[in-house]
Amino acid sequence: MKLFVKIFVKKLVASFLSVLNWSKVGRFLQSEIVNSSMQMQKTVQHNGCLLSFTTPNSLNYFRADSFSTKEPETLEWIDLIPRGSVLWDIGANVGLYSCYAAKQRNCMVFAFEPSVFNLELLARNIFINGLVDKVTIVPLPLSDELRTSSLNMSSTDWGGALSTFGQSYGHDGKELENVFEFSTIGLSMEDAAQRLQLPTPDYIKIDVDGIEHLVLKGGGKILQKVKGVLIEVNDDFKEQADGCHKSLLDAGLKLIEKRHSDMFANTDSFGGGKVWNQIWSRENNNDKTN
């Protein structure tokens, strides 16, 4: 029933906007509706940190509204990062965690996000929180090597996820429902450090919906130096899970724990209880230094 209502509302809105497009006044109103939606914001507070996020649609409102509950383990991990650390947020989406790390822990953040639909919101969120000098956008996908390929996307929504670079599968290893694509340049973590001259990260957060193992494969030298990694892994996607495990172990990192929010524990959506945020740390390093 809920799906039917969503489809009906989408068709109704599309019809309304189509009618507006018939006249000059209608086109002006249409433009104002879009511009006004981009001005909508929701303020959140977590652990004493106040942030505002752009909410032009229900998806981004949900992301902001569930900020403290959707991935509490990610926020707890960020809270333990030493102040002033360099963080690479690979798959930053619209920047919720990039902004939190920059403001709460004074991190220098490099936010990797290739989606053309998310980049504007990412930039807006960085700007409205006064973090332009703390968060640098890298609008390129990471993978195992430098090459040109397609970013395949299952959604064109602002704030959408479930896209993949250079592969036809999604977060679960199954064929991705591709609704939009464009050609872009992808590179490895080592390329990002060497060719873009980015500072080597102290900590890395990776959430790229299926090619996490390829990102790690292209970052051997980077992983040898990193102090900690938080990475999303689907236990049912063996190639991804085994590849991530091997790369992180080979880099001398140790699996500390894997967690997910209660909202994902008993659901069939997005992998259900099989998708975890894994937290890896270098043995004997002082991850909990303030």
Summarised one tens digit per residue, pLDDT across range 182-230 is 999 999 999 999 999 999 999 999 999 899 999 999 999 999 999 999 9
Number of domains in the chain: 1
Please, which residues bridge with residue 147 across strands?
186
Cα dihedral 161, 166, 172, 177, rounded to 10, equals: 70
Q: What's the pLDDT score for residue 261?
A: 81
Token digits for 99?
Answer: 């902004």
Token digits for 185?
Answer: 């340049």
Q: What's the pLDDT score for residue 262?
A: 76
Is residue 103 assigned to a domain?
A: yes
Token digits for 191?
Answer: 């390329």
Query: What range does the domain containing 233 cover?
Result: 78-282
Nearest to 35 by CA among 9, 60, 56: 56
Please, which residues bridge with residue 140 across strands?
none
Is residue 267 assigned to a domain?
A: yes
Nearest to 133 by CA among 99, 166, 182: 99
Q: What's the pLDDT score for residue 130?
A: 98
Is residue 180 assigned to a domain?
A: yes
Averaged pLDDT for residues 61-84:
97
Is residue 52 assigned to a domain?
A: no
Give the rounded percent of residues in the chain with a pLDDT score beyond 90: 77
Higher-confidence residue: 38 or 240? 240
pLDDT band at 290 (very low <50, low <70, confident <90, very high): very low
Is residue 30 assigned to a domain?
A: no
Is residue 140 assigned to a domain?
A: yes
> What backbone torsions phi and psi does residue 147 show, to the nearest 5 degrees?
-165, 165
Residues 6+ apart with CB under 8 A from 207: 90, 91, 93, 231, 232
Q: What is the CATH number of the domain that holds 151?
A: 3.40.50.150
Contact 186, 112 (CB under 8 A): no
Token digits for 3?
Answer: 């799906």
Contact 63, 94 (CB under 8 A): yes
Has residue 260 got a pLDDT over 60? yes
Is residue 196 assigned to a domain?
A: yes
Token digits for 59?
Answer: 């998806």
Q: What's the pLDDT score for residue 109?
A: 98
Question: CA 23 to CA 17: how far, in whole Å?
Answer: 11
Is residue 210 assigned to a domain?
A: yes
Residues 6+ apart with CB under 8 A from 28: none
Q: What's the pLDDT score for residue 286?
A: 45
